[in-house]
A and B are shown apart, each in its own frame.
Chain A
Amino acid sequence: MEFAELIKTPRADNVVLHRPFHSAVEGTLCLTGHHLIFSSRRQDNAEELWLLHSNIDSIEKRFVGSLGTIVIKCKDLRIIQLDIPGMEECLNIASSIEVLSTLDSVTLMYPFFYRPMFEVLEDGWSSFLLEQEFDLLSSVTNEWRLSCVNKDFSVCPSYPPVVIVPKSIDDEALRKVALFRYGGRFPVLSYYHKKNGMAMMRSSQPLTGTNGRRCKEDEKLINATLRSGRRGFVIDTRPLAVAQQARAKGGGFEQEVHYPQWRRIHKYIERFNILQESFIKLVEACNDQSHNMDRWLSKLEASNWLTHIKELLTAACLAAQCIDREGASVLVHGSEGTDSTLQVTSLAQIILDPRCRTIHGFEALVVREWLQAGHPFQQRCAQSAYSNSKQKWEAPVFLLFLECVWQIHRQFPCSFEFNEQFLILLFEHAYASQFGTFLGNNENERAKLKLPQKTMSLWSWVNRPDELSRFQNPLYEANSLVIWPSVAPQSLQLWEGVFLRWNRPSKFLEEAEEERINIIRYNKELQAKVNALRRQLAEMEADEEAQEE
């Protein structure tokens, strides 16, 4: 397909761009296969806006006489308005944007066309291999092994080719367990708590069905993570009633009779369309222009967004508490094990593992617990909060995770190596990106699309020292402890950096951040200077003493 065919009007002049908190700018609008480009004609301060078509969530057009107006609502929640003179031009542009922003085929997406302008120092596609993770693990325990049972994705299509499982369980057993778990997602290691040797595993629901089917290998597998005489916890992210209903459809839950050493806890986390609706309502509330305080608070409340945040954090804290405080191993799953399960396991690691609070460690966590673990990014992030379509696969699952990290970050502002901007960056790139990292729904699809060969990895770009410096938290000091956030409503706040990003003045907050950076930077410079001088003096003094002697 030629993009040119889709672009009837590639260029329009005298277009006026309106954005909140900016004065309107006149300029030229260009459409390319992947971008909407607006450049102001002002010579003094030439301004360009590049918008990926894939970032466009919805577009509205209206006309006043022959002046057309297009309102573009983006997946990163920004809203811009373009006034385009000429009805035909406006209609052409609008229809091109509509088509180009909703291309079906992944291989037509921008990452397949993007040519980086930077030198790749380290290929992000191979920065986070499970093998490396396993090497680290092997240095503290020998109870686990790498299994390649899924090397051709035949055992579990949504799992990566290699997984970490208890050493005592062989591949044959894994195949059997896979048949007993929804989508083949047999229990695998998610996190090993070095401090006490407890493990967190994740899977999908067991296929017990109505007649209480059991699988000896499954029992053996998860029991292999238990210390003798001790119990473990199964954290089921569905309410008991839903788990019970799942049996009718062939699913189910671990029954006490067959898993006597496990205590099941149901910690309900909302799913799919409920989350998507909540997301839409919240963004609506944030864009409400009314002057009424009551209306804002009631809309915020009605969106239920913060309720989901609170529930999710609570579940993650619970999992972390079981591991760190109870000294118990934990198995987490919901139904499919690709959404709420991953939210819980990854957040628990943020709480427990200091490494996940570093930039590299957090990237590794996102790769391991989201990308490799088979969170269906392409389905979930196909549309954002301005979507009109009621497709049931979209849900801000990853965004909720990022926001929970932000909430913990807010409570422990010195314990994270990265800053809020880093989380916002991941949110943006999960929804629209020039990089291939978040394309596809699992490793299997990514391999088929040959993403590592054909596209650039987000990590290749972001891990360059120049870029990284923008995402560093100046207040960071490594903190080796477990960090327990508060989940009380008073402790949770709206994530303004995402939800109010485009409708609040950010200048003063940015200045504050700059000030924080300067305070720390100046301190470090002084330290360096003082140390250097001290060394110099010591040397000179030593020389003199030597001369005197």
Chain B
Amino acid sequence: MEHIRMPKVENVRLLDRLSSRRAVVGTLYLTATHVIFVENGSETRKETWVLHSQISSIEKQATTATGCPLLIRCKNFQVIQLVIPQERDCHDVYISLIRLARPVKYEELYCFSFNPKLDKEEREQGWKLVDLNEEYNRMGVPNNYWQISDVNRDYGVCDSYPTEVYVPKSATAHIIVGSSKFRSRRRFPALSYYCKGNNASICRSSQPLSGFSARCLEDEQMLQAIRKANPGSDFIYVVDTRPKLNAMANRAAGKGYENEDNYSNIKFQFIGIENIHVMRNSLQKMLEVCELKSPSMSDFLWGLENSGWLKHIKAIMDAGIFIAKAVAEEGVSVLVHCSDGWDRTAQVCSVASLLLDPYYRTVKGFMVLIEKDWVSFGHKFNHRYGNLDGDPKEISPVIDQFIECVWQLMEQFPCAFEFNERFLIHIQHHIYSCQFGNFLCNSQKERRELKIKERTYSLWAHLWKNRADYLNPLYRSDHSQTQGTLHPQIAPCNFLYKFWSGMYNRFEKGLHPRQSVTDYLMAVKEETQQLEEELEVLQERLANLQKSQSGNNKVKSKQQDRSKQFGLYTSNNSLANTPQEYSNDLKSFPSRSPSQGDEDSALILTQDNLKSSDPDLSGNSDQESGVEDLSCRSPSGGGCLPSEDSGKDSDEAVFLAG
């Protein structure tokens, strides 16, 4: 609290990004955890809530006649533009936010104060929802080839690895320790995914410390052991996910990559994925394109191309596809690494797992996947997502890219995933929100020291509780797309990778489809379920009636309920057809003046709008801004014509110029 210089500022204007005219006036509050903007206005008092941990940058812009503008960019891609009347107030808000957005201790993060009013037992249950032991058992290990190793039980070998790792049975502690000494940050090869069907596996590690000529017998034995754990194959692939040039440069620093001559029976392969710095810049460039006020098609496409973002997404996918193919089709085990083995390696292993195993395409399985490949293997969440104030060069959208890969796959395989786009968006949100303890810190070791499970709640339990919101209506566990390995098209396929506006322009509802097919179909399915139940009841009644042939009118009351339920999805959908503001090029068209019709109050049901069940997101007030975006003058019946707008002439000049 000591960081809040200015808890409340009145007469602040919240600008609409697309149209400066559509500003709303309200009061800005700074709390220990949130920035809150409450709109003035008698009835609704819409609220916009932003968690401090979501703030990625705050920019104070040059003071104008109307006040001092403050631009807040969020990690979940929300952009908030405020104008504060007094320069001094603005400065205080700015200074306060700078500090609040960059906590220095974990204890300052929201998860330590967030209280969803669950008792201790419920919290513990929540943490047990995703259990990696169970997951490895599901995969089929331990077995004749793989065993759990306790060599890292006190994080003695590798402090960024979990205590329990699976290694080939023939890999002795001596081999593991020896190998770990020959790998960056001692991240020795360990099992990421085991394919029950053919014994092929995906292992992960960091780069070897090979320099130009160094060798390590134990490391060579380790790779040998991985190969032996797959008796059907006489070699393994070693996939280095870095561009070759980067890997070679590392040799000069005593690191590098495996020399095929030193390791028996490996096939070495580079799959160039760029490093975190390139990715950070790429996202930055793409977000600049997303933020353009009214870009032309060329501006947009050129900017998208120039950012290189989709190229990077495709590189990650290509690596995942290569590995999945090696495992599923060739039955060959793969060892994956990059430099430290916690960014690109995590991306690629998880994409490959997702392609290989339908389980990871379920709601529960996806949580398990993130827990397995990201959380347990020491992906540095704190550094990459800037939860605590740290080196900005450590920040990079590594898991964001993985999440996007999943979305790209969902677009190509619409029936293959049990979850929907909203699930991905909410996970992305919570990776940055620090509302739940799952993604805190940089390793399991740190999390245990911080007693995360005792002091915070698990996101997975929260999402699981609301899983009905995250289901893909097209998913059927008996559908062919949900069986076996997914085979994305390889070439030509550039055109299959698309810009994800649902994520990167997430808060600009006006850009998204106005009717959500997912929500519509979910509503239909829900109604179908009710119908099935009713049908059963009716059939029973009919049977009873026919049997008894005498009066039994008890069940009669049930009849009335149906009519209400019938309206369920039809009304849902007609709301979605509410006229909306048609903006951008015509943003200053003199049309959004008086005469608000009744339909305006209708809220368009798309995406997150519905999700009041999610405390943070409702707090974040998507739906409020959604209403604001979409409220516009609507048809007000036959004779009532809107009055002339005073600003008309200047507005028309816009068309003429355009």
Listed in ascending order, the chain A residues whose CB lies under 8 Å from chain B are: 194-197, 240, 263-267, 286, 288-298, 300-301, 304, 306-307, 309-310, 314, 317-318, 321, 324-327, 410-415, 475, 477, 479, 481-494, 496, 500, 503-505, 508-509, 511-512, 515-516, 519-520, 522-523, 526-527, 529-530, 533-534, 536-538, 540-541, 544-545, 548
The 3 A-B residue pairs whose C-beta atoms are closest, nearest first, are A489-B300, A512-B414, A297-B305
Give the distance in Å from the alpha carbon of A266 to the alpha carbon of B513 in the complex: 28
Q: Are A293 and B584 in contact (CB under 8 A)?
A: no
Given A298-B302, A301-B298, 11 other A-B contacts at CB below 8 A? A266-B655, A325-B633, A475-B520, A477-B573, A489-B297, A516-B517, A523-B531, A527-B566, A530-B538, A537-B538, A548-B551
B491 closest partner in A (C-beta): A291
27 contacts between A and B (CB under 8 A): A196-B641, A289-B492, A294-B308, A298-B302, A301-B301, A304-B298, A310-B297, A318-B589, A325-B633, A326-B590, A413-B513, A414-B520, A475-B517, A477-B573, A482-B579, A486-B582, A488-B584, A490-B300, A494-B495, A496-B495, A508-B414, A515-B479, A519-B524, A519-B525, A526-B532, A533-B542, A548-B551
A494 closest partner in B (C-beta): B495
Q: Are B655 and A318 in contact (CB under 8 A)?
A: yes
Whether A530 touches B562, Cβ cut-off 8 Å, given contacts A294-B308, A301-B305, A484-B579, is yes
Q: Are A307 and B298 in contact (CB under 8 A)?
A: yes
Q: Are B501 and A490 in contact (CB under 8 A)?
A: yes
Residues in chain A near residue B541, CB distance under 8 A: 537
Residues in chain B near residue A494, CB distance under 8 A: 495
Q: Are A414 and B545 in contact (CB under 8 A)?
A: no
Residues in chain A near residue B298, CB distance under 8 A: 301, 304, 307
Residues in chain B near residue A534, CB distance under 8 A: 538, 559, 562
Q: Are A540 and B545 in contact (CB under 8 A)?
A: yes
Residues in chain B near residue A412, CB distance under 8 A: 513-515, 577
Q: Are A511 and B551 in contact (CB under 8 A)?
A: no
Q: Are B301 and A317 in contact (CB under 8 A)?
A: no
Chain B 542-581 interface mask (CB, 8 Å, partner A; 1/0)? 1001100111010010010010001000100110111111
- Shortest C-beta distance, B174 to chain A (Å), equals 44
Give the distance in Å from the alpha carbon of A294 to the alpha carbon of B304 in the complex: 9
> What's the interface size class on B, roughly?
35 or more
- Shortest C-beta distance, A298 to chain B (Å), equals 5
Residues in chain A near residue B559, CB distance under 8 A: 534, 538
Q: A489 touches which one: B296, B476, B491, B583 (CB < 8 A)?
A: B296
Residues in chain B near residue A492, CB distance under 8 A: 297
Most chain B CB within a 10 A radius of its CB, from A538, A541, A545: A541
Give the distance in Å from the alpha carbon of A388 to the alpha carbon of B38 in the complex: 62
B534 in the interface, Cβ–Cβ < 8 Å?
A: yes
Q: A530 touches which one: B414, B473, B534, B590 (CB < 8 A)?
A: B534
CB contacts under 8 Å to A, within B268-323, are: 290, 294-302, 304-305, 308, 310-311, 314
Q: B480 touches which one: A263, A290, A491, A511 (CB < 8 A)?
A: A511
Q: Are B528 and A522 in contact (CB under 8 A)?
A: yes
Chain B 414-439 interface mask (CB, 8 Å, partner A; 1/0)? 11100000000000000000000000
Give the distance in Å from the alpha carbon of A356 to the alpha carbon of B650 in the complex: 34
Give the distance in Å from the alpha carbon of A513 to the alpha carbon of B45 in the complex: 42
- Shortest C-beta distance, B237 to chain A (Å), equals 20
Q: A477 touches which one: B301, B539, B570 (CB < 8 A)?
A: B570
Residues in chain A near residue B634, CB distance under 8 A: 481
Give the distance in Å from the alpha carbon of A526 to the alpha carbon of B413 in the complex: 28
Q: Are A519 and B521 in contact (CB under 8 A)?
A: yes
Give the distance in Å from the alpha carbon of A493 to the alpha carbon of B655 in the complex: 25
Q: Are B297 and A286 in contact (CB under 8 A)?
A: no
- Shortest C-beta distance, B528 to chain A (Å), equals 5
Q: Are A321 and B591 in contact (CB under 8 A)?
A: yes
Give the distance in Å from the alpha carbon of A163 to the alpha carbon of B302 in the complex: 46
Residues in chain B near residue A309, CB distance under 8 A: 297
Give the distance in Å from the alpha carbon of A444 to the alpha carbon of B491 in the complex: 49
B494 in the interface, Cβ–Cβ < 8 Å?
A: yes
Give the distance in Å from the alpha carbon of A519 to the alpha carbon of B538 in the complex: 22
A410 closest partner in B (C-beta): B513
Q: B586 touches which one: A290, A321, A503 (CB < 8 A)?
A: A321
Q: A485 touches which one: B295, B480, B493, B582 (CB < 8 A)?
A: B582
